Structure 1
Amino acid sequence: MRATRKLTIGLIAAAAMAAVAVPAAALPPGSADPWQPLPPIPFLDVARYVGTWHQLAAVPQPFNLNCARDTRATYGVIDASNISVNNTCTTWTGAADGITGNARVNDPTTNAQLHVSFPSVPMQDSPDGPTNYVVTYIADDYSWALVGDPARFSGFVLSRTPAVTAQRWQEIRGVVESRGYNACLLLTSPTTGGRPDIAPLCTV
């Protein structure tokens, strides 16, 4: 899943968004300022975070252009500082694609800032490095999350299920924008059983 190689990994009308209230506790101070680094959540429960996530939307990356649908990231605990990463997707030809890597915790206070590496990717083959994966939002029930890099060059909406409700899409857009992203720059990712199209999050 070259669509989520950096880890791995939302796209509704403004009027509808006005009715969506994002809990104040979910919005770190200054989080909407795109000139400030993407803020991590206060604490990530790694044991609850591991498992399989479906990519619902993402900022397009050069390395994920071959992924047509069903982009997923599966994480597993290796030890207190390392998480295994297995990214997969279905290509435009219908073939399966994937890559395996490692996510190392750079911030043991929150567990929400990590460096993701892939042995087969030049310049990303070292397990040690600067943070390139920040969990900036996660639902209370760990049903969906928003992750990206500090500069917001990447952004991924991850969900435990491949399909979500219209209300959840509204919530996703609200959180994405609250974290300083332009919702129009994230495109939906086709999933079996979920959205079949590719569309800007701001139009969903």
Structure 2
Amino acid sequence: MNRHRMRLALSALTVAAACWTAVAGSGPSAIARAEPPAPVAGLDLSRYLGTWYQLAAVPQFFNLVCARDTRAEYTLDQQGDVSVYNSCTTWSGGLNEIRGTATVVDPVTSAQLHVSFPGVPTQDMRYGPPNYIVTALGDAYSWALVTDPNRLSGFVLSRTVALDAAQWGDVRDAVATAGENACWYLTSPTTGGLDRIAPLCAV
């Protein structure tokens, strides 16, 4: 990794650490005691399939390797579950990828799923409780907000590599409605979109 990329990686880690430190008093320990976030009233799985670009996320150990262009591709598998393919460009310019399966566990809304990744500790059970909740959707499924029952993760997904100011405002409102803080999220650089890492509350 060259010095420029090393500085960018360290900056990302520093911002992530500062973000979590700033909200530590009202963060994970308090969130875990709250009721799970509400899923959207109804998710049309056929419309949700396809390619999504990650434009912001709550920092997790598995996505710190990603420098830019993080994306998810969802397709139906032979069992009627969702085949998941996540990929991104790493800090060294390489490709990082992982495949998994998402299974709907809420037949009422179809918006709560269990996502598993074979071979990944604690994430390799194909069936289990929900760990992926679609809590908000933009017009015509233009963007989605995803979190989990304990609000320890969060992802802003978009059909395009960029959102306009009004859409970002809607996303921040959705984050607040889900019981999260927009400052917990960091933007995810995308080619053709935002090219910096910053707290979502500052976008």
- In the alignment, is residue 44 of structure 1 matched against residue 47 of structure 2? no
Give the stretch that moved more between structures: 73-82 or 98-107.
73-82
Q: 1:178 to 1:163 in 2, by over 3 A?
A: same
Q: Deviations over 1:133-170 (max 9, x none)?
A: 00111123000000010110000000000011122111
Distance 2:163 2:145 in 1: 15
- In the alignment, is residue 112 of structure 1 matched against residue 114 of structure 2? no
Paired residue secondary structure (2:42): coil
Which of structure 1's runs of 4+ aligned residues deviate more than 6 A?
A: none
**In the alignment, what sits opposite 1:25?**
none
Distance 1:42 1:170 in 2: 21
Superposition map of 1:6-155 within 5 A: 35-78=34-77, 81-155=80-154
Which stretches in structure 2 are left out of the alignment for 5+ residues?
1-32
**In the alignment, what sits opposite 1:196?**
195
Q: CA deviation at 1:81?
A: 4.8
Q: How many corresponding residue pairs?
A: 171
Contact 1:81 1:105 in 2 (8 A): no
**Amino acid aligned to 2:101:** N
**Higher RCO (C-alpha under 8 Å, 6+ residues apart):** 1
Query: By percentage of residues, which structure has more helix?
Result: 2
Distance 1:99 1:164 in 2: 26
Identity fraction in percent: 59
TM-score normalised by L of structure 2: 0.81
